[in-house]
Structure formats: structure tokens, C-alpha cells
Amino acid sequence: KNQVEQSPQSLIILEGKNCTLQCNYTVSPFSNLRWYKQDTGRGPVSLTIMTFSENTKSNGRYTATLDADTKQSSLHITASQLSDSASYICVVGKANTGTASKLTFGTGTRLQVTL
């Protein structure tokens, strides 16, 4: 069964601190892995997209890593800001799916950044 599991479920950190969110997946065959940020009451917004040949990708203070051998990814947030408070969703795309990319979504990690 294709699954994407994220940890922790929720996290509270102080502004300015770093944090790392984890994602494990069983989707096969693997095509790509995405991290999305979803603010409360809004739609998800893409942060990074990686294929199996990429093991790290950055977008500002966000850095995603991918280990396709162990089927793990992480999202590292540096020098957190209050605006980073959101849910972060790991999404894995399946290969060989015909006309449309089949995506499996994790349930997300809810991050709260406090003063």
C-alpha cells in the first residue's frame, strides 16, 4: 500500500530556532517528492519538488533532503519566523501512472512558532 507518514504530528518552537520535519514513504515506483506549506484556511503552496536523482533542494530558509534508498525525506527550517506557522505536507509522486501524476499526501506536521 502506498503510504506517506510524517513526524512529528505537531511541533512548537521559539522564533529564531531551527527545526526538522520528517517524512517516510512506501510509494513505489517512486517518481518525485514534494513539500508543501499550508497556512490555516488556505490551499497548499509548493516549497520544493525533488526527483530520485536529487538529494537536497533549498528554497530560502527551507531545505529538503531526500534519501531514495531508505525512502526518507526531511524538511529543515532555518531561523524560524512567526510566518512559518503552518502545516507542512510531504507528498510523493508515483511513476508509470499514465496520463496524470498520482500523488500520495501525508497528513502533515503542524508547526507553531512562538515568541
Do 89 and 23 meet the contact criterion of CB atoms below 8 Å apart? no
Q: Which of 70/99 has CB closer to other proteins?
A: 99
Size of the site for other proteins (CB under 8 A): 25
Give the span between the Cα atoms of 61 and 75, in whole angstroms: 10
Among candidate residues 28, 112, 97, 35, the one with its CA nearest the CA of residue 66: 35
52 binds other proteins (CB under 8 A): no
Query: Using alpha carbons only, what angle is made at residue 105 by residues 64 and 65, rounded to the nearest 5 degrees?
Result: 10
- Give 35 or 80: the residue with its C-beta nearer to other proteins: 35
CB of 28 to other proteins, least distance (A): 14
The 4-23 contact track toward other proteins, x by CB under 8 A, reads x-------------------
The percent of the chain in helix, strand and coil, each rounded to the nearest 5, is: 5, 60, 40
Using CB under 8 A, list all residues that contact other proteins: 4, 31-32, 41-46, 49, 51, 89, 91, 93, 95, 99-108
